[in-house]
Amino acid sequence: MKKELAIIAVLVIFVLVWNPQFEYDANLSIDSYYVLDAAGVDKDQYFNSLIDAFEKTRDPWAIGDSLLVLARLDNNTDYYKYACDGFKRYSPKTVEEKAILYETFASLNCRGSRIHYLRQAAHYWKILGLKWRADILEKLANDKKLNLEFETSEISPNLDLSGKEEIIIGSTKVEIKKDDIIVTQADRVLRDWLGLQLRQSPFDGEILRVFSERLTYSEEELREDIGWHEGGRLWDIENALDVEHIPAVGTLAAKKDNKWYAPDENGVFRFEVPLDKVSYPTTRFLTEDLAMIIDSHGTNMLVEQAVRNNADVVIACCDHPGKIKAVEYLSNKGISALCFSDLELYLALGHDVNAVGSAAFEFKENKLVFGNKHITIRKNQEIVVTKADVGKTYAIWYYDAPYMYFSEVSKTFPLEIITITVDDFRQTERVYAAAREAHADIVASRVFNSYDYTQAKAWLEESKGHKLLLFHSVSYPYGVLISQEFPEQVGFGDVNINRNI
């Protein structure tokens, strides 16, 4: 009897050791459905479609991420276990990938070995020279207070055009040359979780050119041959030049006063990150207030990587104040920015940053040149400006970019602004009708789709004296088309007015 009890005791100990009870993803502090709800995506349909896409996925990292998203959406422990197994099969190619992999294991508490994985990740960050990041992980492993450093100032326009009789908009240019180092966001370049494109790792692979739009748009509207967003424009660059592309992956974000911030190269958390980007379902959480963002989105998440890799140019979204603060920070370090999504770029007016927004581009003298499209505006000149009535329609706010820009310009440079408000898509006919009625030669607007393109093209063809300033447009195929078809008439909302004049 005693022998039988001893055997049972050994078996119980064996079960406890080899089948530990632990909690996965204990620090998850966001609503994994947040972005899906905001975008109006049917959650059940997304979940089922992700399962279908997962069945065709072969990359171990992508398998891990897909299962992680499924685990969070379904609150399913088995999916968490399989996600850990998927990541375990991934073979890191660099020291940085090893560090991010171990941070992933730690965040999910894979095999109940969080502390071990934190120390492993810290080891690799030290090898990479990021002592500040290694120190954070060591403190977490030792259950010590982090005492993170924050710098939360905000950027605002600093423009004074008093006394000017005319201004020139569009003289800024960003040039890309052979062998330049380009750091980009990972989202909308290598991956697109919202559009069910998680089939490859965020570290390298095929440059994507179409994203969630591909699920609903017609071929004519999609124009895959031109491409969308940062991936589409990076594809243009790589078609023209041999450059080095580095995606920013694994950016930390820390929470302070209910806002999230990404760090500079020294570990100072200074660039605000909007909640929706922290809420991507691929984001890892090391604590409830410290996240690691895999699918980076925005210049605010590229700073550390851009500085560390001696980038020449960054390509990322610029539709949030934190992203514009990052643009200025990088510019001061000699790193240029391409901000095709330029909703908030007007905040950099008067800051002399080397960045362009929705600018046309051309290949010239073995360089790809973005910008350098001069448009002159006289004092008190009439200009028709698009404004958005935000609230009725999702994503209509991007049509507000022209209004925000010229509202700031007109504070110190008098203009006769004719404001035309849209509250839905396919309404820009009103903008050009107002220009015709007022005999105005300058329009500031957006070209998002074929409808906007058709309206803009008809007006530009009426007179070579008609000029169109584009905002938030060359991320999209028809914005690229209009800028290429009318290179002498289409400019962009340059934040460096009268630069080098």
Query: Any alpha helices (H) in 418-476, and if so which ranges?
Result: 429-438, 450-462
Nearest to 356 by CA among 343, 342, 368, 366: 342
Residue 17 pLDDT exceeds 90? no
- The band of 501, judged by pLDDT with boundaries at 50, 70 and 90, is low
| Per-residue pLDDT tens digits for 286-316 | 999 999 999 999 999 999 999 999 999 999 9
- The band of 6, judged by pLDDT with boundaries at 50, 70 and 90, is very low
Give residue 315's identity as a one-letter amino acid code: I
Global pTM reads 0.93
Contact (Cβ atoms closer than 8 angstroms) between residue 91 and residue 268: no
- The band of 12, judged by pLDDT with boundaries at 50, 70 and 90, is very low
Per-residue pLDDT averaged across 125-151, rounded?
98
Contact (Cβ atoms closer than 8 angstroms) between residue 188 and residue 229: yes
* Distance from C-alpha of 422 to C-alpha of 386, rounded to nearest angstrom: 7
376-492 adopts what CATH topology?
Answer: Rossmann fold (3.40.50)
Per-residue pLDDT averaged across 448-475, rounded?
98
Residue 438 pLDDT exceeds 50? yes
* Distance from C-alpha of 376 to C-alpha of 470, rounded to nearest angstrom: 15
Residue 7 pLDDT exceeds 60? no
Provide CATH 3.40.50.280 ranges for the chain.
Answer: 376-492
- The band of 20, judged by pLDDT with boundaries at 50, 70 and 90, is low
Contact (Cβ atoms closer than 8 angstroms) between residue 284 and residue 292: yes
Q: What is the pLDDT of residue 338?
A: 99
Query: Any alpha helices (H) in 268-427, and if so which ranges?
Result: 275-278, 303-308, 321-331, 401-409
The 3 state secondary structure assigned to 401-425 is HHHHHHHHHCCCCCCEEEEEEECCC
Residue 14 pLDDT exceeds 50? no
- Mean pLDDT, rounded, of the chain: 94
- The band of 392, judged by pLDDT with boundaries at 50, 70 and 90, is confident
* Distance from C-alpha of 246 to C-alpha of 248, rounded to nearest angstrom: 6
Nearest to 262 by CA among 209, 211, 330, 313: 330
Tokens, residue 405? 């820009």
| Per-residue pLDDT tens digits for 240-260 | 999 999 999 999 999 999 999
- The band of 391, judged by pLDDT with boundaries at 50, 70 and 90, is confident
